[in-house]
Amino acid sequence: MRMITFFLIGLTVHVVFFLSIFDIYFTSPLVHGMMPQSTPLAPPASRLVLVVADGLRADSLFTLLPNGSSRTPYLRSIIEDTGTWGVSHTRVPTESRPGHVALIAGFYEDVSAVAKGWKENPVEFDSVFNESRHTWCWGSPDILPMFAKGASGDHVYTHTYPAQEEDFASTDASRLDTWVFTQVKSFFQSAKSNSTLKASLLEDKNVFFLHLLGIDTNGHAHRPMSQEYLDNIALVDTGVAELVSMVEDFFGNDGRTAYVFTADHGMTNWGSHGAGHPSETLTPLVVWGAGVHNAQKVTEPQPYNDGYLQDWKLEHLRRVDVNQADIAPLMASLIGVPIPVNSVGVLPLLYLNNSGQFKAESMYTNAIQVLEQFKISLCQSLISYSLEGLVYYHTYDRFFLGCSVVLGFVGWTSYVVLVILKTHAKVTVLQIMVPAVTLNQE
């Protein structure tokens, strides 16, 4: 009976310790009840095309070939002539779901979602897709459904291939990306003869999202330095070039389409991701089209000392780095939809080619949107103070709770040692003290 009681007490203690970790670290950062905030001025773009190359490292896109040419000639031409580029810095865990949530919803995935495998929404959250008039998505069944299920109303449409197609043992997974480009091509082709669909496409505040999983899958199967991985990047570049040509043709080259090309995370040399190595956290960002600055040539040294500019032969072009969550307010501002209410992103103004008034109104909207999540009394540096407040709110009690757990575990361990000694060694306090008393008398 005594051993059963001891076992039950021990089990309870360990369960409490285990659950305490989730309570301290695995809590959702989402705050609810905020009003969506949007810029009152007319946006520069009517529609947005978002292309996410899953698992694409920044250096894999920006580094030139030994002969000086690029394996992505189309995107390189955008960087050098018609767009703005930089590095998008991701956060741990560098996985697909957290990366896409940061990109599209503007906040960094709460660690509690690991219990769900980042497949379904542990909590509902706002996103650029949710705020859009319509969003059409093509790609992986692991990523697209969560944004459709999290949307209010029925305006996020997903087109996915079967889950069994995602085979990491595949000889070449680039077919996943070919499938996406083919489906998008068929979609716009059918819209020409479908008056209802065409009318929806001609509305403003629309988003088209292409999730390209082939690069990530080939990286896992063959490593990022493999020919399969590198050839897949070239295939994506060709696909993006054809996509832009098709979209511009469909909308009559009206100059009202904005394009964003980026990645959710990178990949290590041995084909893994999830941690915080630069190969996993540095992803490319290329933005062009309506409302976006053309390439800006610079003659002075840029404020980046990581050494990559010289390696990439891009030191003459202005580089604009962002945090991954900053892309969400950028996309929202380009098409004039409210910034996702839980976004912690800061609008990167250097990407915008618009009036000073539009930039000021956009930054004010961004500030109010962040302020809605955590109210403060200081007006200067409003966004940075608000974000610091959010971090403090979610982490202030970690040290105290952690110390409590450590002390509790030390106490439990001491108790277990005493029980073992009492039960098996037949040692009592009296037995320990008697020899000491005898020695003192001598």
Reading the block at residue 411, the tokens are 């106490």
CATH of the domain at 227: 3.40.720.10
Single pTM value for the model:
0.80
The two tokens of residue 3 are: 């051993």
Residue 418 pLDDT greater than 60, yes or no? yes
- Residue 165 pLDDT greater than 90, yes or no: no
| Domain contains 88 | yes
| Domain-located, residue 349 | yes
Q: Is residue 437 part of a domain?
A: yes
pLDDT at 158 over 90: yes
- For residues 53 and 101, state if they share a domain: yes
In whole angstroms, give the CA distance from residue 390 to residue 369: 13
192 shares its domain with 229: yes
Res. 175: pLDDT tops 90: yes
Domain assignment present for residue 392? The answer is: no
Instruction: Report the range of poorest mean pLDDT among 265-279, 293-307, 411-425.
Output: 411-425
* Total domains, the chain: 2
Task: Specify burial of residue 438 (Cβ count, 10 A radius: 0-12, 13-18, 19+).
Answer: exposed
Average pLDDT across the chain, whole number = 88
288 beta partners: 83, 259
Lowest-confidence pick of 3-12, 204-213, 297-306: 3-12
Interatomic CA distance for residues 292 and 86, integer angstroms: 13
Average pLDDT over residues 104-119: 67
Same domain, 89 and 213: yes
The per-residue pLDDT for 437 is: 47
State the pLDDT confidence band at 83, using cuts at 50, 70 and 90.
Answer: very high
> What's residue 144's pLDDT?
92
Residue 171: closest CA among 96, 226, 252, 110:
226
Is residue 302 in some structural domain? yes
Residues 108 and 226 in one domain: yes
Tens of pLDDT, residue by residue over 132-145, are 999 999 999 989 98
Pair 159, 102 in one domain:
yes
Least confident range from 173-187, 348-362, 369-383, 414-428: namely 369-383
**pLDDT tier, 439 (very low <50, low <70, confident <90, very high otherwise):** very low
Q: Are strands 282-289 and 322-323 parallel, antiparallel or unpaired?
A: unpaired
382 CB neighbour count, 10 Å cutoff: 17
Across the strands, what pairs with 286? 85, 261
387's CB contacts (< 8 A; 6+ apart) are 344, 346, 370
Domain co-membership, 62 together with 180: yes
Q: Give the residue numbers spanning the domain of 18.
A: 2-26+397-441
Say if residue 91 is in the same domain as residue 8.
Answer: no
The answer on 277 and 131 residing in a single domain is yes
Percent of the chain clearing pLDDT 70 (strictly above): 87
Report, as an integer, the average pLDDT of 320-344. Answer: 96
Residue 385 forms part of a structural domain: no
Q: Are residues 168 and 261 in the same domain?
A: yes
Same domain, 425 and 298: no
- Do the beta carbons of residue 22 and residue 268 sit within 8 Å? no
| Burial of residue 270, with CB atoms counted within 10 A of its CB: 0-12 exposed, 13-18 middle, 19 or more buried | exposed
